[in-house]
Structure 1
């Protein structure tokens, strides 16, 4: 089948661009009559085959003229098993313009990428509805036009199913007591015969069971029968055929008994009714569990307040957060949550940022510091200027990342989908074969036994558990990871990270703090450490150099009074000089001391020691004499050594890749326990280093935070960005660590492995359950043991199978962080620099 489409293309600037784009399209198999229009930026083409447009998009991308695409999410109803997932995917993928279609049973969503201008989300929803699965377009928060969130929908679904289950149970109980009670207690059987009679009891059972099937169980028939007639049977079809067969056989026995031999005149009303009750109870438990799997996003969304106090026309006013615009001044009082992201402009206080970083300790905020929306104001009050609002806030991005990860389809799910797409037709064929075998070779009453075995096969084999096995674990695992400060931006990273064998680390900002600090101050004879630090800081207070800032921070942290500096002069490439407290002060490199003729021989031993430890040394001279040696370094984060030890304890090979000097890199590696170092490399060389590490056969995870890390993050099997790093690094990564240190890597590996183990457990149960119990339901044990599985037991086992999978996935909500605050030694105060005497 061929389809004519008009697609939109980026990058068309001239006639030669048109020619190249047209040539790229002409070379794609399944694409014909391609015509590119420069004026409209569009291309008209005829495609044949489901994958032709996908190949056309790839060809245009390679030629440098990418097709404009958009994404949409649909909330899909009426999906009950893994076979439904396959059918919805096929229906959506067949819609014109669709490039990717992924359907998730646990979230009941379809994630789509389609060519812009070819089709609309509303038309995609209609395509799903035409396949028998009504759909609505979802918003960014996961809600639909009705305004319901996923958790609210599951709660409403659970309440509706619970009502149906209660009504069905009330109608079924008399049927069950009359029929099964008579078999278990002979006295009850005789009592029924002596009072109303068996004929009347059958009529009563007929009325009650028909009410169950036509009332609470009607959905199985209204959904299952049309699906069966379309040649696309699903779980509802299995239940409809199974219960319908039991009911129809019983109706014949009740009203037309002459059509059946005397030996097989029996009714199975109780089987049909109890099956409906048990499956409804199972669906109620599923709906409740599904609601809990999506609770992570619901909690994240609940962190954002509905209103905020904003300065307007010089007066504070409470307004809806949707009305806040960048530049507004937002007031934050104790106990309130920040409405949007911003920068503190006035006041001081402490903010609880645990919802972002996972760290329980409040963070001091002062003018110039950043505020993240959703964090809680503790002591103090402040005003801050809104910088990012609405969908641009950090919290909104986190919700979006978690939602994307939860809706993703892991590679392991592909095999499951291919199997389950044909599973229901295969089950129906197996049930039909079971009936035929029993009728041909079964003992008397063969017809009754054939009915029981066939219905049992239909009911027990519903593939609900198969469809839920993977997506529920992904939902719960990624939700729990977000609570631990680990955001999986791409769902497949969850699986890839579990098989990583090498962790490559950037140094600056990843292993270290990312800013220089004063680490050592060695005074010479006749000078006191505090005296020299105050004089040096007074001079450096006039400089914007990072090293100068480090010296000033150290003096301020120690509470030193700085003398007034006069005559400040920057000596380019050497250092700075000024008069401070009436004394001439020089601060700079050895070459500055040499130029000024100042003897530094007393400090040579200390210089060699500091160089061996990767420190950068500079001198302070007062009134023409060497006063002290100051050492500056980018300090290691307090958690780095413990995190690296934990990674090595997990069997990881840990490698540092840095553009810093080899001696500095080796010093940091020695301090943190890293055995392998690749130093003095440019960004492109980092990418090559990642490729070299991969040659050993193990997957490589790269952890970084800077712009120069983006190529390596993108090239690694799993790129992990420190969340406090640059936006470009985060956009290149698969996983984002909001805590800003390496403990997040340990936690990410832990949650990945636990989630994948949980998925394998679920799949083993789901497939093993069907492989083992379908033959039992068919009666394979009957010749040896006389055991034939009751359809009621089959229904109970089927419902419990799905509940087991969901319950097992929910265990991931209790995963504890592999490393937390207690795993890290306390940070030393910034001013606690060493003051060893000069040798």
Structure 2
């Protein structure tokens, strides 16, 4: 009889590594059979021999291999002497490089002065005996004190786990011993390499932005700071996300942006490191009213301090600032925010306590837009009133010669407009220039400054100050004071329309915040109590009555009713929810019964919040076409400024040199060539509009993201996803769970090897093995066995082999002592076992059935055939893609015959089926298709490939492809590798993604075309290029009106996308 042992080794890179490990093991155990399964080394030796895992591990360690586990137990490196640990580092690395082809090649390719980065690992431990926040704090402090090498420890009371960063497996082992010494049962469940980068994500609401030039200005200002690594600015939502290396520099970031002429309101600062993986605490801000003396705030603080380490006060309360912010780890129903508030109230019944709800980015952006509207409207009223008498003087100017009283009157009228209506342009442009002048780079000072505010300010300033000079030089000469008033009037009208249209475009985002009610019905001792949603913690129990909206995500534990999930899926169809089903925040109980729900997520952690977060993140992702627009607009204002000066200089020189006819000057209101030429320059300043170019892509993508959400699609990849989605050449589908239903396959046929009895025990043995797996086929076997009599078989030392199956040791029952293997043909063949009943196997595969094989001690004793039904819409979707000229492929881990049978049912050609690949191998096949596929639509020289998967084991291929599309709800929404997520599990979302991407990119191109044509035509017209032939010039006032209409038309063009309807094939 053979005994099986498993050694987990992290750094197996190539065949040379495998040969060296096999040699080391077989030197000690010549009869050992060594099989490599991923990072697991499966060793089989005769049962009569004793396997010394410690000795083998030590030898492997000395050869440079990172041994993590032996037979599910961590490798204890402390068995090495301290001298060995001191000097083993470099020699181990050299030994490993000597036998590893990949490492040797890597070292040869490195620069001589390159220093290898220190690797960091994320270690996750399962903890028993941790029951409260005090336990968590004890573990936190104990580990930090006794293991100084660790970083960023995060203790999760709810999930009874600890996660931290360690430099190597040895420290991970040390942490485990420390936690055990503290009195807790501890088991290492995960050890994976991660990035060591720790940065802080600053979310802020930004005011004062009007176009992409403003966004570029803020971005340049931020990136000019040494501690800012990245900056993403969204003009439409008025928000920004900054990646900084030092949390203490937030105020410096704020000051720099405010000095540039924009407002900065901090939303949130969060560290971006491993601890994000485990949400352990909740921060609450409450307002306490009714305090009348200095002792009242102290009483509140005493109550919070009475909880010890369970509550951490962030901001203390005072009489002047009756707010207190604190952090705690909820553990409902034992420890909740309600208990904390109740204790404060009992300490002083006179106090009134209320929650302070943090504003979202959308709400703050809406406030900024309303404030900007009010500022513009007040200036519009002033300018509009003054424009009435100014109209009289403008008409008078065209009929009679202006007297000094007329000119003085226009000066009096124009002055308040210039100083009190145009001030919003002057102030912002001055701050922008001040920020640019502080730059050390001369190229930045000369070629990357200003925004539309500067152009507007220059246009009105030249008109005003030149007119003032003309008036004092000759009070009877005609001036341009009227241009100041009407120029300002149209500029303000344009700015108001711009703000209004952007607010209209972003209203869909803000409306998501209103989907959830502010109150819930909390269940307490069988009764319901109305509570604000901020008083609810995870594991609380709430009731959702008929007609009410759910305010939290949760699991139905009592009752049954139908819910309208249109806000999630786009389909207003009732979905029955009963025991065990999930209810999502924002959905409506449209049935006749109430349901009781156990809260699983609330307060910024719900599925709806995930949708909003995903869409926000998508908005921050810049597409290639947006990056081109940013480059154009960043240089637009300097170019226009220099062009306007050049235009003035050219006309002035031509006039002064006598090259221009005198009637040009006689037919104008100017009294000199300098003033006459100035009118061209002002028109250039005013008519040039970078806003149209800057808003061409963001507005269309913004509306496209909202439209996608309407059809149950989350555009997590932002503009880049839309751009690549519009140019797809190939769409690949996973089989199980994507082309097929996947969720509930059924065992249809079973074969047992003659003479092997009892057969019932074989079925139960198969179920015991598969019970450790979450794969749909494993669930089918378990379900099949559930209807049969319970037998005595038991299995231990179960090991899952990703993408292949399971290996275990039978510990009880008639097959006790046998080594059991259950999985696909590939696993069986890798173990050197014949597959057995080939006729039935081939027959079932041709019928499109998936076959699972059970082998005992190298002999196949049972076959199980599972039938997975194809999705009803699969064939229609495949046909729809093919009619669009897109090639369709299937990539599956199943055997080739089964995969081709399923593909034939869906309409995928048999030569476009890739089968028998592991999850990580799917990514390689995707890359192969990118290189070899036919590129009909792409301009990159290779095929653009999309991968559609269920989001469970398709992460590698979703990352490798150009457009990852994940199908599913719930946990799948957090899949970081997908650029699109289909909220409703319906393949018809795939052609919608493609059609919508095409519509969005067509609208972007149309916007760019219009904005470009506008500037190409209007700037030469304003500069007077056609004046020698037509003697017509663009008046600065008309130029301002044209400029306003240009940017507004781009926004309304994007809003027209809302009429998009998906094509039905």
- The verdict on a shared fold, with TM-score over 0.5 as the criterion, is yes
Q: 1:724 to 1:133 in 2, by over 3 A?
A: closer
In structure 1, the residue corresponding to 2:208 is in which secondary structure?
coil
Alignment counterpart, residue 634 of structure 1, candidates 850, 868, 876? 868
Of the candidates 361, 367, 381, which is equivalent to residue 152 of structure 1? 367
Aligned equivalents of 1:439, 1:419: Cα separation in 2: 29
- 5 Å matches for 1:137-536? 137-139=266-268, 148-180=363-395, 183=398, 189=399, 198-228=403-433, 230=437, 232-257=449-474, 265-379=477-591, 380-442=593-655, 443=660, 444=662, 445=665, 446-491=673-718, 492-516=720-744
Q: 2: distance between equivalents of 1:303 and 1:742?
A: 27
Q: Following TM superposition, by how much is the alpha carbon of 1:549 offset from its aligned partner in structure 2, in angstroms? A: 8.6
1:583 alignment partner in structure 2: none
CA distance in 1, matches of 2:606, 2:221: 36
In the TM superposition, what are the counterparts of 1:67-106 in structure 2 within 5 Å? 67-106=197-236
Return the match for 2:1048 from 786, 803, 810. Answer: 803
- Alignment partner of 1:758: what SS? helix
Q: Is the 2:204–2:361 contact (alpha carbons within 8 Å) kept by the matching residues of 1?
A: no
CA distance in 2, matches of 1:18, 1:812: 61
Work out the CA distance in 2 between the residues paired with 1:308 and 1:18: 59
CA distance in structure 2 between the partners assigned to 1:299 and 1:225 by the alignment: 36
Once the two structures are superposed, the pairs formed by residues 550-561 of structure 1 within 5 Å of their partners are: none
Q: What does the per-residue CA deviation read over 1:334-354, in whole Å, with 9 as the maximum and x for residues that have no partner?
A: 111111111111111111112
Residue pair 2:748, 2:867 contacting (<8 A) in 1 also: no
Maintained 8 Å contact 2:232/2:242: yes
Change in CA separation of 1:731 and 1:169 when aligned onto 2, cut-off 3 Å: same
Matches within 5 A, 1:49-60: none
**What's the CA shift string for 1:47-103, capped at 9, x where partnerless?**
xxxxxxxxxxxxxxx996612112112222333444333332222112232211222
Residues 204, 678 of structure 1: CA spacing in aligned structure 2 closer, same or farther, 3 A cutoff? same
The question of whether the paired residues in 2 share the 8 Å contact of 1:74 and 1:125 is answered with no
**How big is the shift at 1:18?**
12
In structure 2, the residue corresponding to 1:708 is in which secondary structure? coil
- In 2, Cα distance between the equivalents of 1:694 and 1:646? 22
Whole-Å separation in 1 of the counterparts to 2:576 and 2:1006: 45
Counterpart CA distance in 2 for 1:757 and 1:617 is 47
Partner of 1:741: 986
DSSP 3-state at the match of 1:294 = helix
Instruction: Report the equivalent of 2:925.
Output: 689
C-alpha spacing 1:729/1:156, structure 2 compared with 1 (3 Å): closer
Q: Which residue of 2 aligns with 1:580?
A: none
Show the 5 A alignment for 1:594-673. 612-615=846-849, 633-673=867-907
Secondary structure in 1 matching 2:604: helix
Q: Deviations over 1:167-201 (max 9, x none)?
A: 21221132123214653xxxxx36xx7xxx74333
Q: CA deviation at 1:293?
A: 2.1
Residue 123 of structure 2: aligned partner = none
Cα gap change, 1:165 to 1:718, in 2 (>3 Å): same
Q: Contact 1:476/1:809 (CA < 8 Å) preserved in 2?
A: yes
Q: Judge conservation of contact 1:705–1:725 (CA < 8 Å) in 2.
A: no
State the superposition RMSD in angstroms: 3.9
User: 1:341 & 1:150 partners in 2: Cα distance?
Assistant: 27
Deviations 1:146-176 (CA, angstroms, capped at 9, x unpaired): 9943233323322431332232122113212
Using the alignment, how far apart are the partners of 1:550 and 1:145 within structure 2? Answer: 46
Shift of 1:617: 10
Indicate how the Cα distance of structure 1 residues 707 and 214 shifts in structure 2: closer, same or farther if over 3 A, else same: same
In the TM superposition, what is the alpha-carbon distance from 1:636 to its structure 2 partner?
A: 1.7
Structure 1 unaligned segments of length 5 or more: list them: 1-12, 32-37, 44-61, 184-188, 522-539, 554-564, 574-604, 619-629, 824-839
Secondary structure, counterpart of 1:703 in structure 2: strand
Equivalent pair of 1:709/1:729 in contact (CA under 8 Å) = no
Secondary structure in 1 aligned to 2:571?
A: coil
**Whole-angstrom distance in 2 between the partners of 1:65 and 1:15:** 26
3-state DSSP of counterpart to 2:549: coil
Contact 1:321 1:339 in 2 (8 A): yes
> Aligned in 2, Cα 1:216/1:303: closer, same or farther, shift over 3 Å?
same
- CA deviations on 1:689-747 (whole Å, 9 max, x unpaired) are 11111112211111111432111111111211112375498232222110112111112
Shift of 1:407: 2.6
| Native 8 Å contact 1:155 1:288 kept in 2 | no
Cα deviation for residue 42 of structure 1 reads 9.2
Secondary structure in 1 matching 2:954: helix
How far has the Cα of 1:460 moved from its partner? 0.9
Contact 1:126 1:134 in 2 (8 A): no
Quote the Cα distance in structure 2 between the aligned partners of 1:813 and 1:18: 62
Q: 1:528-550: CA deviations, max 9, x gaps?
A: xxxxxxxxxxxx9xx99844898
Q: Classify 1:729/1:340 alpha carbon distance in 2 versus 1 (closer, same or farther; 3 Å).
A: closer
Cα distance in structure 1, aligned partners of 2:966 and 2:907: 21
In structure 2, the partner of 1:835 is none
Aligned with 1:644: secondary structure? helix
Spell out, residue by residue over 1:473-506, the C-alpha distance to the aligned partner (whole angstroms, 9 max, x if none). 2221112211211112232222222222111100
> Structure 1 residues 517 and 138, CA, compared in 2 at 3 Å: closer, same or farther?
same
Rounded to whole Å, the distance in 2 between the matches of 1:92 and 1:320 is: 39
Q: TM-score, normalised by structure 1?
A: 0.75
The answer to whether the Cα contact below 8 Å between 1:473 and 1:812 also exists between their aligned partners in 2 is: yes
Measure, in 2, the Cα distance between the counterparts of 1:243 and 1:344.
64
Closer, same or farther: CA 504–485 of 1 in aligned 2, 3 Å: same
Distance in structure 2 (CA, Å) of the matches to 1:147 and 1:504: 36
Q: Answer whether contact 1:81 1:462 (CA < 8 A) is retained.
A: no
In the other structure, the counterpart of 2:955 is 710
> Using a 3 Å threshold, how does the CA distance of structure 1 residues 437 and 802 change in structure 2: closer, same or farther?
same
Alignment partners' CA distance in 2, 1:301 and 1:181: 55
Task: Tell me the secondary structure at the aligned position of residue 776 of structure 1.
Answer: helix
Q: Distance in 2 between matches of 1:354 and 1:570?
A: 49
Asked if structure 1 preserves the Cα contact closer than 8 Å seen for 2:729 and 2:943, the reply is: yes
Any idea what the Cα deviations from partners look like across 1:381-413, whole Å, max 9, x if unmatched?
211111122222111111111111123222222
Give the Å deviation of 1:466: 2.2
1:108 offset after TM fit, Å?
2.9
Question: Which residue of structure 2 aligns with residue 833 of structure 1?
Answer: none
Q: Is the 8 A contact 2:259 2:431 kept in 1?
A: no
Aligned position for 1:770: 1015
Q: Distance in 2 between matches of 1:617 and 1:77?
A: 61
Post-superposition Cα deviations, 1:567-598, rounded to whole Å, max 9, x if no partner, equal 6769999xxxxxxxxxxxxxxxxxxxxxxxxx
Report if the CA contact (8 A) 2:563-2:588 is conserved.
Answer: yes
Shift of 1:279: 0.9
Q: 1:305 to 1:139 in 2, by over 3 A?
A: farther
